[in-house]
Amino acid sequence: MTSNVLKAQDSLQCGFNRDFFSSSYSDWYQQTVSELRKPKENKRWKVSKDTEFIIPVVFHLIYPFRVPLDIAQIPKIMNEINADFMRLNSDSIKLRSKFKSRAGNARIRFVLVEQDEKGQPSKGYTIRNSLNYFGIEPNQPYKDMHRMKFKAYEGTPPWNTKKYLNIWVCNLTSFETGKTYVNGFATPPKNAPHWSPIYFADSLIDGIVIGKNVYSNSARSSTLTHEIGHYLGLRHVSGDPPGFLDSALMCTYDDSIFDTPRVLHQNYYCDTTINSCIEPVNDLPDMLENFMDYTGDNCKNSFTKQQVSLMRYCLNTLRPQLANLEIKSIVKPDLFLVDVYPNPNIGSLHIDFKDSFSNNYSVVMFDYLGRKVLESQITQAKSIINLESLSSGLYSIAITNDKSEILYRKSIFKD
């Protein structure tokens, strides 16, 4: 792929660069931001940190003009979003040191469904051959972008949007111009306090759409991670100011997240010299690495702690039935001292018990589909588990006792 092509892809946007210029949006937004800055509102965002949310995912592949999409992309994409939301993405080390203390781990896992809504076996995706065109046209309003979700347009209706994250994949290239303006778009949680009601979705359209170009990308892609950010309530880091304002006023717009530096507008280039808004206290350059900016896939690698708090708050409060497999850790780390490392892992996983070893412990590992891939008794206080036969991706590891109680669990990324 030439650098020109990469640059062209970098300049693609998500669906939320639309409809920003309404005056009602501006008034509403200013008011909401000032409300959210009150300390009591901030506290409400906190959900117990040791809780790991698990979100069931179904893909709806819509084959444009009967050209199939490669099913093998689904594991690649699942691994990418799982790594990004567990902060196990290998490019997270590229985050500049000045932002390291602000980086957050969302502790959200995504699992492909194994059963459909009626309890029948499912591979985690649906397929529809369609002769319709779902391209996003220039200046098409957001509210008119959802045809791929309706049978009447040869699209695929969602599974219960309260219980599943529906991800549609289709051709988003404009029919009129042959160009692609939008990589993907998402619906924010209904009643999220910092979104305009014009974006709120009903049960017929709630979910995420990504273009077939994003889906088929063999290189690292962060588009779906960005859209999941919107789906869980995050806004762009710029706060999307109306473009006609002068820059001093544009810098007053914000994403209402306190630890993302203010930026003048969404950034397209990974230029680390950019500091587009000077803040009176603790000024930092633009955080180009933020998943909610528009910089390229080779640049974005992190959410901040406050973004993570907001996503977890929205998931817990505004999408309460979605993460229905919520797991809380059973034993506090200080009661069960074990080190499991390194993570990410290339083949040898060390399990070191510090002082409470007994020989009735077992280790169990599951893949992102929830399938058991490994089970082994632990016979020594310092053990090494061979993971070389496992394919690359995210796994969940649990240490159990002879009563099958889970004493410890952790997510491991196999490189």
Binding site for Zn ion (CB under 5 A): 14, 16
Q: How far is the CB of 226 from Zn ion (least distance, A)?
A: 5
Decide if 170 contacts 59 (C-beta within 8 A). Answer: no
Q: How far is the CB of 392 from Zn ion (least distance, A)?
A: 28
Cβ-closest position to Zn ion: 14
| 112 vs 165 by CB, closer to Zn ion | 165
Of 13, 319, 296, the closest CA to residue 166 belongs to 319
Instruction: Name 202's Cβ contacts closer than 8 Å, sequence gap at least 6.
Output: none
Say how far apart CA 244 and CA 69 lie, in whole Å: 41
Q: What is the 3-state secondary structure (H, E, C) of 268-316?
A: CCCCCCCCCCCCCCCCCCCCCCECCCCCCCCCCCEEEHHHHHHHHHHHH
End-to-end Cα, the chain, rounded Å: 24
| 14 vs 394 by CB, closer to Zn ion | 14
| 14 vs 33 by CB, closer to Zn ion | 14
Q: Residue 351: which H helix or E strand, with range?
A: strand 348-353
Q: How far is the CB of 221 from Zn ion (least distance, A)?
A: 14
In DSSP terms, which residues pair with 292 in a beta bridge?
A: none
| 14 vs 88 by CB, closer to Zn ion | 14
Q: How far is the CB of 229 from Zn ion (least distance, A)?
A: 8
Strands 182-186, 13-14: parallel, antiparallel or unpaired by DSSP?
parallel
Q: How far is the CB of 374 from Zn ion (least distance, A)?
A: 38
| 16 vs 195 by CB, closer to Zn ion | 16
Q: How far is the CB of 14 from Zn ion (least distance, A)?
A: 3
Gyration radius from the chain CA atoms: 22
Strands 208-211, 182-186: parallel, antiparallel or unpaired by DSSP?
antiparallel
The tokens 């304002």 sit on which residue?
Answer: 245
| 16 vs 164 by CB, closer to Zn ion | 16
Q: How far is the CB of 317 from Zn ion (least distance, A)?
A: 22
| 205 vs 397 by CB, closer to Zn ion | 205
Decide if 410 contacts 345 (C-beta within 8 A). Answer: no
Q: How far is the CB of 258 from Zn ion (least distance, A)?
A: 20
Q: At what angle do helices 73-85 and 223-231 cross, to 10 degrees?
A: 60
| 14 vs 62 by CB, closer to Zn ion | 14
